[in-house]
Amino acid sequence: MADPIILKVAVPVPLPGLFDYLPPDGVSTASLRPGCRLRVPFGSKVLVGVLMQLTAHSDLPRRRLKAARALLDTEPVLPPGLLRLVSWAAAYYQHPVGEVMEAALPALLRAGRPVFQPQTVYLATTAGMQTDLHQMGHRAPRQAQLLAAIRQAASGLSRADVAATAGDWRGALGKLLQKGLCEAVSRHPNCSAPPVASSPTAGPTLTAAQQQAVAAIGAQLGSYATFLLDGVTGSGKTEVYLQVISAVLAKDRQALLLVPEIGLTPQLLARFQKRFAVPMAVLHSALSDKERLDAWRRAASGQARLVIGTRSAIFAALPAPGLIVVDEEHDASFKQQDGFRYSARDLAVLRGRHENIPVILGSATPCLETIHNASKRRYRHLVLPERPGSATHPEMRIIDLRAHAAQHGLSTPLVAAIGKHLDAGSQVLLFLNRRGYAPALFCSGCGWIAPCDRCDARMTLHRARERLRCHHCGRESRVPAHCGNCGEALKALGQGTERMEETLQSLFPGTAVARIDRDSTQRRGSMHRLLEDVHAGRTQILVGTQMLTKGHHFPGVTLVGVLNADQGLFGSDFRANERFAQTLVQVAGRAGRADRPGEVLIQTAYPEHPLLQRLVTEGYTAFAAAALDERRQAQWPPYSHLALLRAEAAARDAPLQFLTHAAKLARQIRGGGVTVLGPAPAPMEKRAGRYRAQLLLQSAKREPLQQLLRSWRASLGELPGARRVRWSLDVDPLELF
Ligand code: ADP
Ligand code: ZN
Ligand code: ZN
């Protein structure tokens, strides 16, 4: 007797590996194709899994294997390229493959909903086509009318169409079916012709650098290559994407564009829609389950030619992929920071290789890993050095806060510059990466500072709502009138955006000041209104957080002030410098996009900081070279590879105890060249009432680290103390806390 066929299934449970099943009763082997969904018994439940492989052998004895209950698809929901990506990602990020599927499949498909809801349509049979309608009209006018309509519709009439045609349609339709004059056929609604859109508009004439970039990428269509498209903000990167995408569409292929969470603005969508007028699908985290399934269907059926989305769109099913673009590839939102911790940017490169298509990574401030890959010639480096037209680069200058006293966070030279730009009729943008009124509430009598009792952090004062709020755990409390220790009055210490708004209003009376941060944009549509006021010139001064730096263009802004550069210069993380430089350059890029030159003023108490100097005098590329050199000396990525094991618990000692066992195990398994660092408490040990600690693995090469992780990960759950903590493994962590 031949070996039975064993189905290897990815089941949505937090356990590694695939699970073995026997085929469902009465299902032919030929219809069991990898990528199809199956309903499978699991413990006391029935779950929806995805068939990954068919084999002849199982490690389990035959009698212990259960049969799958049902096959849910006739066609794979995940095409082969995507199945490969999912398997690879599960292995590389050491994450249960069933949970990786959560990123790849819309919730409704994971719940077993049909991929395509087939629609019934009515078509005329040969007999129906030959019937004499005139004669029929005498005896059965309704049937004749309906049959005429059905004969005319080449692709058939749906029930709704039928209902709209004839009066007593149920009876007439029943008769036609009975007589064999028409027949019911089921059809995929997505196979209908795509809606005809208005004619696309043409783009501007490209600059020489843009032309070169478009030509280089265009020559690579149909095979794999990764391009770093490195160009300052406003240098025309999006224009390059548009041109390359247009070539991809002309070859009848689909393009996938990934953008940062906050970069997916209606303006961006409108720009693409206007240029191409092809059916698009948009995938982002704010969609309802139904909307997500809808967008997924449009991409997966091939109807959508252009798919735009945030991080998880890297798993969009595409029958005819031709290009992947990652815009603002340095953006941290491409890395998922909880659950399945993957980098959509890195997976884009991998998917490009699997699917044999080009990948574009675009940024004004590429991440150091990407620059390193370009210098090693793994990626091709394309540079857009200038802004098209007359727009010039903003000029950066440092204001030494030790030489110029700052009042309420504003130095005299900056106040003077703001006045000058306002007088010239321009707009001013001030960047302060701290929302709220003040980052601390302080007692001048005894030095007490209002703490969060659930975190190792201070409470932020929010004046508009008269509350103290912890930005780490969300805890809120009322603002005490006096110090609980000594009874003295309490003072707001430091500057938040809310306070800066107040200061600016009193310094420049009669000037419209707007604040853009997470608090001021909470309500739906408020961001849109704030931006509209800026664009219409109703707002003269904009003060805001990081939110301002992404994707928005403010052509009327000629002065950018960075109020506190020092926050970013001295982070505890090895990536702090890089992130700071990126933010600074991105903020600066908001200025002077039109015909007026921009000016950027940076307030700092450390003007001689070497990396800041490098950035201001020589620009981001020189900064990146210097920062990479520091990374090399310290053996941080990209000169090494990291994996971070985090643990947290309500009991203070539990995380460190568990991690000590984990460290011991790693040292026992340790292959060549993996260093085990720690365990140590996290930089902010207590957060939201839980204590946190971490263990870092570092390796010069990827493979030995991956090898260690494979056996280590499998044993972590069995270690003493594993059940007392919540632990997670982060491969290529972006943040070390
Ligand atoms: P980036 O994506 O690098 O920020 P964009 O592609 O958005 O740059 O271009 C910035 C602005 O310059 C846009 O308004 C765009 O329409 C315009 N632009 C881009 N390329 C050209 C060009 N070759 N000629 C004229 N205008 C251009
Ligand atoms: Zn006090
Ligand atoms: Zn807190």
**pLDDT given at position 697:** 96
Instruction: Evaluate the omega torsion of the peptide bond into residue 638 and state whether it is cis, within 30 degrees of 0.
Output: yes
Q: Output the CA 432–ligand 3 centroid distance in Å.
A: 21
Give nearest CA residue, ligand 1 atom 6.
Answer: 236
For 202-261, write each residue's pLDDT tens digit: 789 999 999 999 999 999 999 999 999 999 877 899 999 999 999 999 999 999 999 998
Residue with CA closest to ligand 1 atom 4: 234
**Average pLDDT rounded to a whole number, residues 184-197:** 55
User: Quick check: 546 pLDDT over 50?
Assistant: yes
Q: Is pLDDT of 510 > 70?
A: yes
**Ligand 1 atom at minimum distance from 210 CA:** 23
Structure tokens at 594: 């039109």
Residue 10: predicted pLDDT:
96
Residue closest by Cα to atom 18 of ligand 1: 236
Instruction: Return the HEC string of 689-734.
Output: CEEEEEEEEEECCHHHHHHHHHHHHHHHCCCCCHHHCEEEEEECCC
| Secondary structure class of 590 (helix, strand, coil) | coil
Q: From the CA of 464, how far away is ligand 3's center (Å)?
A: 20
Amino acid 192: pLDDT: 42
Report the pLDDT averaged over residues 688-697: 96
Residue type, 349: V
pLDDT digits (tens, 9 = 90+) for 15-52: 888 999 999 999 998 899 999 999 999 999 999 999 99
CB atoms within 10 A of CB 198: 8
Q: Which helix (H) or strand (E) holds 231?
A: strand 225-231
Report the range of poorest mean pLDDT among 3-7, 366-370, 725-729: 3-7
Predicted confidence (pLDDT) at residue 2 exceeds the cutoff of 60: no
What is the C-alpha to C-alpha distance for residues 380 and 383, in angstroms, rounded to an integer? 10
Ligand nearest to the CA of 205: 1
**Is 24's C-beta closer than 6 angstroms to any atom of ligand 1?**
no
Measured between alpha carbons, how far is 49 from 112 in angstroms, rounded to an integer? 9
Res. 194 pLDDT band, cuts 50 70 90: very low
* 264-268, 579-583, 586-590, range with greatest mean pLDDT: 579-583
Q: What is the CA radius of gyration of the chain?
A: 30
Q: Which of 316-320, 520-524, 590-594, 638-642 has the lowest mean pLDDT?
A: 590-594
CB 228 within 8 A of CB 374: yes
**165 Cβ below 6 A of ligand 1:** no
What separation in Å is there between the alpha carbon of 461 and the centre of ligand 3? 13
550 alpha carbon, closest ligand: 1
Distance between Cα 447 and ligand 2 center (Å): 6
- Residue 182: which H helix or E strand, with range? strand 182-187
From the number of C-beta atoms within 10 Å of its C-beta (0-12, 13-18, 19+), residue 153 rates as middle
Ligand nearest to the CA of 593: 1
CA–centroid distance, 339 to ligand 3, in Å, is 22
Q: pLDDT tens digit string along 97-117?
A: 999 998 899 999 999 998 876
Decide: 206 in ligand 1 pocket, CB within 6 A.
yes
Distance 703 CA to ligand 1 centre (A): 42
Ligand nearest to the CA of 688: 3
- Rounded to the nearest angstrom, the distance between the alpha carbon of 237 and the centre of ligand 1 is 7
Tell me what the pLDDT averaged over the chain comes to.
90
Pocket test for ligand 1, best of 232, 237, 238, 327 (most atoms within 8 A of CB): 238
How many Å lie between the centroid of ligand 3 and the Cα of residue 455?
Answer: 4
pLDDT reported for residue 271: 87
pLDDT of 1? 45
Tell me which residue has its CA closest to atom 9 in ligand 1. Answer: 236
DSSP per residue, 646-704: EEEESSTTHHHHHHHHHHHHHHHH--TTEEEEEEEEEEEEEETTEEEEEEEEEESSHHH
**For atom 14 of ligand 1, which residue has the closest CA?**
234
Q: Is the C-beta atom of 237 inside 6 A of ligand 1?
A: yes
Point out the ligand nearest to the CA of residue 240.
1
Report how far ligand 3's centroid is from the alpha carbon of 570 (Å).
22
Nearest to 551 by CA among 568, 519, 527, 580: 527
Atom of ligand 1 nearest to the CA of 239: 6
State which ligand 1 atom lies nearest to the alpha carbon of 235: 3
Ligand nearest to the CA of 446: 2
The string of pLDDT tens digits covering residues 695-728 is 999 999 999 999 999 999 999 999 999 999 999 9
Give 238 Cα–ligand 1 centroid separation in angstroms.
7
Substitution candidate for ligand 1 out of 207, 214, 239 with most atoms within 8 A of CB: 239
- What pLDDT, in 10s, does the model give residues 406-449? 889 999 999 999 999 999 999 999 999 899 999 999 999 999 99
Regarding the beta carbon of 239 and ligand 1, being less than 6 Å apart is answered yes
SS (H, E, C) 188-211: CHHHCCCCCCCCCCCCCCCCHHHH
The closest residue, in CA terms, to atom 11 on ligand 1 is 234
pLDDT band of 380, cuts 50, 70, 90 = very high
At residue 389, the pLDDT reads: 61
Q: Is the pLDDT of residue 4 over 90?
A: no
CA of 234 to the centre of ligand 1 (A): 6
Q: Mean pLDDT over residues 628-632, rounded? A: 95
Closest ligand 1 atom number to CA of residue 231: 3
pLDDT for the residue numbered 388? 64
- One-letter-per-residue 3-state SS of 566-586: HHHHCCCCCCHHHHHHHHHHH
Q: Is the CB of 493 under 6 A from ligand 1?
A: no
> Which pLDDT tens digit goes with each residue over 384-404?
987 766 555 678 899 999 998
Could you tell me if the CB of 603 is within 6 A of ligand 1? Answer: no
Q: Is 586 in the pocket of ligand 1 (CB under 6 A)?
A: no
204 lines ligand 1 (CB under 6 A): yes
CA of 340 from ligand 3 middle (Å) equals: 25
Q: Which atom of ligand 1 is nearest to the CA of 232?
A: 3
Distance 485 CA to ligand 2 centre (A): 5
Q: Answer yes or no: are the C-beta atoms of 367 and 225 closer than 8 Å.
A: no
- Is residue 648's pLDDT more than 90? yes
Q: What's the 387 CA to ligand 1 centre distance in angstroms?
A: 7
Q: What is the largest CA-CA distance in the chain?
A: 104
| Band of residue 597 on the pLDDT scale cut at 50, 70, 90 | low
